[in-house]
Amino acid sequence: MGSSVFFLQSMLRKGKRDNSQVELLTITGFLNIINRQTLICAVNQEAEESFKKIVEVDRLIDTMRDANGNELQKLVVENVLAFNESFWLRLAARTETCKSEDDKAWFLLDYEEFASTLMSIVDRVVNKTNEKIEYSTNVLKGIIKPALDEVEEIPWPPRDPETLKLMEREINQRELEGELDEGFLSEVNAQLRKAKEDGDKPGLEAMLQKVFQLYAAKVLSRRSYAKKGNQVLKAEEFLETIIKAPEEEWNKLLINGITLGKGEISPEELHAVIKKRIERTLIRTDGGSYEQRVLVEYLKGIQKRAEEVVQILQGKKPQ
């Protein structure tokens, strides 16, 4: 827009210098200039993005070419989503774009072996990933099976009060067997995202949220911070009671546990121990992992509920 205005001004100045008649530019003509320049800008941006992608692919190819067997496998796993049609076309075209004779000789002599090895590793990684997804799907099916009726519909909340206990028992057993790993959490997350996008399966969405809650409660309950030597830390003990409890019982526990209700723990003390537990969780889990995300979201859910209960007990409307 700025360059278009500059262009218009320069034309007017030129006309005045030549003492010639200045052709009046209509609004439409001016907008056409702007539109043409916008189109040119968009094309240039697309070309720049395309060039950046080619540079990234070339960098990956060069890194893999210089890697040994173990390093190559690791690189494939870390960049598995990069091996699309564009990647293979670029790899095939590298013999024509080599900057040095040594590079060109390498691609001419060793290209087929390198490409074959790469395809073999990618194929194994993809197959292993598919097997892992199938395994995680079966684990999830086993956990939610108690909540399904005869036609595999998902009434929620469950009609049978024993359903949640059966799901919790299944979670506990599979956690002991080491089956609730990142692959499992990724599968639950994928199914939950799909249920939200579909929008027509509220029962499934609520049930998958419950799976995450049961998982978080189980994992967070592994470690207790309620004792320091012979001293019992009341606020930590209270938080651990909430962590282990079903979400449906949180309101009652909070009302009976904090000083604004019938308890001994001040809202400030509870807030402090929740914050501390979140910090500990962030330290003890891998950054960006599903485990970290699920555990932190569970603790933040408790924190939010506590704040809402405090506002109600203070006679305020929850925000």
Asked whether 127 and 120 are in contact (CB, 8 A), the reply is no
More reliable by pLDDT, 59 or 171: 171
8 pLDDT tier (thresholds 50, 70, 90): very low
* 91 or 310, greater pLDDT: 310
Spacing of C-alpha 46 from chain mean position: 27
What are the residue ranges spanned by the domains of the chain?
A: 134-222, 223-318
pTM of full prediction above 0.95: no
pLDDT score, position 15: 46
**Mean per-residue pLDDT of the chain:** 83
- pLDDT(106) > 70: no
Contact of 221 with 243, CB cutoff 8 Å:
yes
Q: For residue range 277-309, what is the model confidence (pLDDT) as tens digits? A: 999 999 999 999 999 999 999 999 999 999 999
Q: Which of 216, 236, 217, 234 lies closest to 225 in space, CA to CA?
A: 236
What are the backbone dihedrals phi and psi of residue 228, each rounded to the nearest 5 degrees, phi first? -130, 95
10 Å CB burial of residue 56 (0-12, 13-18, 19+) is middle
